[in-house]
Structure 1
Amino acid sequence: MAQTAIPPTVPLDSAVWRLRSRGCWQDAAALLEHAAALSPTAALRRTALLVECCMFTGEGWERAEDALRAVEPMALTDEERGAAAGERGYLAYASTLLRVRDRADEARAALGRAAALLAPDSPGRALLDFRRGLMAQHVSGNAEAAETGYRRAHAEAVARGDALLSSYTWRQLAALAQQRGDLEQAREGFTHSLRLREETGFLVGIAPALVALAEVQPEPEATRLRTEAGRLFHLLDRVPRWLAAQLTPQPPAPAPA
C-alpha cells in the first residue's frame, strides 16, 4: 500500500517544538504518533525525538528502538533511509557514551551507511558530519578527526541557518579549544552556543551551555553561571540527567549536548 503523506501544520510543528525544548520528548512524540503510521517524514521526526530523549535522560531505549524498527521497513527515499540510519547510529552512540551498552561498532556502521545514502548536498549532511565528529571525539579519541567533522557541520549549519545545530557545533569546537588550553577561543564558542540556545528557546539545552561556559570563566562569574544552571536544571526535572555530575565539584562527565 502506498504511503500517504501528512502535510505538516504550523500549529503541530510549534507544539512539538515547545514540548521538545522543555524536555518533554515522549509527549512531543505522542503528537506525531498518528501521522507517523502513514508518513515517513513524520515517522522520522518521531524517531528523532525518542532518540534525543535517550541522550538527555538515559531512558526510553526500547521506545526509540521500536520507532526505528517501525520506520526502517517503510517505502523510503535514499534521503529518508540515510536519515533513519543516522538516527540508528546516534542511538547506538548514545548507548555507548552513557555506558548503557557498548554499541560502538553498530554506531560506526550505521553512520557509515547514512554517509553512503545521503547526497553530497543533502540537508542532512551537516547533522551527520556532526555526529561522526562526536564518535571520533568521544568514542575513538581522535580529536583531529572530530574537529574536521565539527567544522564541516558548522559551516553547513551556518549556511543553512540552522541555529540549533550551530549551537551544538560551537559547543564542541569550544570544548576542543578548551582541551588545547585556548580559553579565549573556548569562551567565544561557549558564549555563541549559549546565545543560540537562548534565542531558539531550547530550554533543555541552556543549563549544559551555562555549565560549559562556567568552566572557562573566572570567579565570581563561574559561580553565577553554575547557580543559574542549577536552578534551570531542577526546574526541568533534573534533565539532562548527566549534568548532575557537572554541577558538583567532582570532575565533569562527558557532555554530549
Structure 2
Amino acid sequence: MTETAVPLSVRSASGDPLDGAVWRLRSRGCWEDAAALLEPRAAGEPRAALARAELRVERCMFTSEGWGRAEEALRAAESLAHTDAERGAAACERGYLAFASTLLGVRDRADEARAALGRAAALLAPGAPGRALLDFRRGLMAEHVSGNPQAAEAGYRRAHNDALGRGDALLSSYTWQRLGALAVLNGDVAEARHGFTESLRLREETGYLVGVAPALVALAEVEPEQEALRLRGEAARLFRLLGGVPRWLGPKLAEQPADG
C-alpha cells in the first residue's frame, strides 16, 4: 500500500464556520465527530449530505472500518441529489468507495467503481467543479486496478493542472504525490523528490495533519539514509499521536524505533 492509496474527496474549508469546524476535525482523523456536526443539515441539504458521505468514505480508506455507515450516508446523499453536478459528485463518491473496498481487499468492487466513475464523467463536464477530483480518482483506478501507468499519469496531470488553477491546495498535494510516485517508477529521483516535497509542504500549510505522516514516508524513500531516518522517525511519532492512522501505514513504520 502506498500513500497514493488514500486520496480523498478534497475540499478545503470555506468561510462557513461549520465548514471550518468540520475541517479541523477531519484533518485530525475525527471523521465521525465531523460527520455529527453535519447531521442537522444532511437530512435535507444535498451539499451537507454529500459532505457527510465523503467523511465516512474517507474514514473507510484510512481505517478500513465503517463501511456500513459510509454506504448509508452515500445512499442518503444520492437520494437528495437533483442536479447533474450533485448526481455527478455522488457518483464520484460511490466509485471511490468501491475503489477503496477493492484496494484494501475488503471486497472486489472494481466493476462497480468503473461504472460509477464513468457515470460521474458523463455528468461532470471538463472544467466543472468536481471534475479534477474525478480525473484524479480515475487515475487511481488506472494505476492501482488496471495497471496502466500511462492512463494514470494522464488523469493525474489533468487533475493537477485543474487543482493548481483553482487553488485547491489539498488536491494539489495528492496530485504532486502521485506524479512523484510515477517519477520513481521512471527512475527520475529528482522529479520524485520535488513532487513529494511539494505534497508535504501543502499538507503542512493546510493543516491536514492526518496526511502528513504518509507524505513524510514518501519523501523518505528518495532521500539519503540519514535524512530518511529522520523523516520516518517524525512520521512514526505523528502516526502514534493520531492513534495509528492511516492504518495501512503501520507496516511501513513497524521497524521504526520509538524515539525516531
TM-score (normalised: structure 2): 0.91
For residues 164 and 102 of structure 2, what CA distance do their matches in structure 1 show?
29
CA displacement at 1:25 relative to structure 2: 0.5
Which residue identity lines up with residue 253 of structure 2 in the other structure?
A: L
Aligned-partner Cα distance in 2 for 1:75–1:66: 15
In the alignment, the residues of structure 2 paired with residue 177 and residue 53 of structure 1 have an alpha-carbon distance, to the nearest angstrom, of 28
- 2:140 pairs with 1:134: yes
Match of 2:104 in 1: 98
Correspondence for 2:33? 27
Q: CA deviation at 1:74?
A: 1.9
1:233 counterpart residue number: 239
Question: Structure 2: how far apart are the matches of 1:134 and 1:146?
Answer: 6
Partner amino acid, structure 1, of 2:129? P
- In the alignment, does 2:68 pair up with 1:62? yes
Contact 1:173 1:189 in 2 (8 A): yes
Tell me the secondary structure at the aligned position of residue 198 of structure 1: helix
Closer, same or farther in 2 for the Cα pair 1:209/1:143, shift >3 Å? same
The answer for the alignment partner of 1:248 in structure 2 is: 254
Match of 1:215 in 2: 221
The one-letter amino acid paired with 1:55 is M
Aligned residues: CA RMSD: 1.3
Distance 1:217 1:95 in 2: 32
Question: Does 2:150 correspond to 1:144?
Answer: yes
Higher relative contact order (CA 8 A, sep 6+): 2
- Aligned structure 1 segments of 4 or more residues deviating by more than 3 angstroms: none
Identity between Structure 1 and Structure 2 (%)? 74
Please tell me whether residue 164 in structure 1 is matched to residue 170 in structure 2.
yes
Is it true that 1:15 corresponds to 2:50 in the alignment?
Answer: no
Distance 2:17 2:81 in 1: 27
Q: What does the per-residue CA deviation read over 1:81-134, in whole Å, with 9 as the maximum and x for residues that have no partner? A: 000000000000000000000000000000000000112221110000000000
Name the counterpart of 2:79. Answer: 73
CA change 1:99–1:75 in 2 (3 A) is closer
The offset of 1:76, in angstroms, is 1.5
Taking the aligned partners of 1:126 and 1:166, their CA distance within structure 2 comes to 10
How far did residue 72 of structure 1 move?
1.3
Instruction: Pick closer, same or farther for the CA change 1:107–1:37 going to 2, 3 Å.
Output: same
Distance 2:15 2:191 in 1: 40
Cα distance in 2 between the residues matched to 1:179 and 1:249: 24
Q: Which runs of 5+ in 1 are unaligned?
A: 1-7, 251-257
1:79, 1:119 within 8 Å by CA — same for their partners in 2? no
Tell me how far apart the structure 2 counterparts of residues 122 and 61 of structure 1 sit (CA, whole Å): 29
The DSSP-based 3-state class of the residue aligned with 1:72 is: helix
CA distance in 2, matches of 1:172, 1:201: 20
Aligned residue identity for 1:50 = R
Candidates 80, 84, 91, aligned match of 2:90: 84
CA distance in 1, matches of 2:30, 2:243: 10
Shift of 1:75: 4.7
Change (3 A) 1:218 1:116: same
Deviation of the 1:39 alpha carbon: 0.2
